[in-house]
Amino acid sequence: MKKIYTILFLLALSTTLSTAQNKDTKKADELYNRLKYTDAAEAYQKLLKRGKGSTYVFEQLGNSYFYINDTKKAETYYKRVVKRKTVKAETVYNYAQSLKANGKYSEYNDAMKQFAELAPNDSRAIEFMKNPNYVPKLMENQAKFSATNMKDINTEYSEFGGIMVGKDFYFSSAR
């Protein structure tokens, strides 16, 4: 009988805690669901300042910053989430992409390996595992050309690709 009461008590406690989390994050979640990621990030930040940080809040912050292409902040918040055993594969993938965007290729490889373990049938994981060190190889081939500012024809306006036809040079511009 004591076991039943203990189980019921723990169930009630966990329900209460999850409801409290939902109440705390309701405004931020609404902004997030309406794709207002900048505003959502600010709302989640306010929760952190009030001591209401949780794995969920850190994940939502990471996602919010990731979707507005602030990969440095996204990396910061994802880093706290990906260490957990219950992390979502997509969160690890977004973390890996943030690392790659921030030039942290070794850490990117580690995160992608973690992603591949969590989602071995995902096409992105399969492609990564075929060639896990492709980023450093790309970086080796980076300087195949150089661009020179041609002051005689370049302006502050947008100039678009040029082409040589015989001895004539043609280009398009927003001038």
Q: How confident is the model over 85-141, as pLDDT tens digits?
A: 999 999 999 999 999 999 999 999 999 999 999 999 999 999 999 988 877 777 776
The secondary structure of residue 155, as a DSSP letter, is -
Among 73, 111, 69, CA closest to 90: 111
Residues of the domain holding 101:
17-146
Among 149, 167, 168, CA closest to 159: 149
DSSP string, 67-95: HTT-HHHHHHHHHHHTTSTT--HHHHHHH
The CA distance from 158 to 175, in Å, is: 7
The CA distance from 54 to 59, in Å, is: 9
Could you list the beta-strand ranges (E) of the chain: 159-165, 168-173
pLDDT at 93: 98
100 within some domain: yes
Give the tens place of pLDDT for each residue, 42-51: 999 999 999 9
Does residue 154 carry a pLDDT above 90?
no
155 within some domain: no
Query: CA 149, 150, 151: angle at the middle one, nearest 5?
Result: 100
CATH number of the domain encompassing residue 85? 1.25.40.10
What integer is the mean pLDDT of 5-20? 43
116 within some domain: yes
Proportion of the chain above pLDDT 90, given as a percent:
58
CB contact set of 67 (below 8 Å; sequence gap of 6+): 35, 37
What is the DSSP pairing of strand 159-165 with strand 168-173? antiparallel
Count the domains in the chain: 1
pLDDT at 10: 47
154 within some domain: no
Mean pLDDT of the chain: 84
10 within some domain: no
Does residue 162 carry a pLDDT above 70?
yes
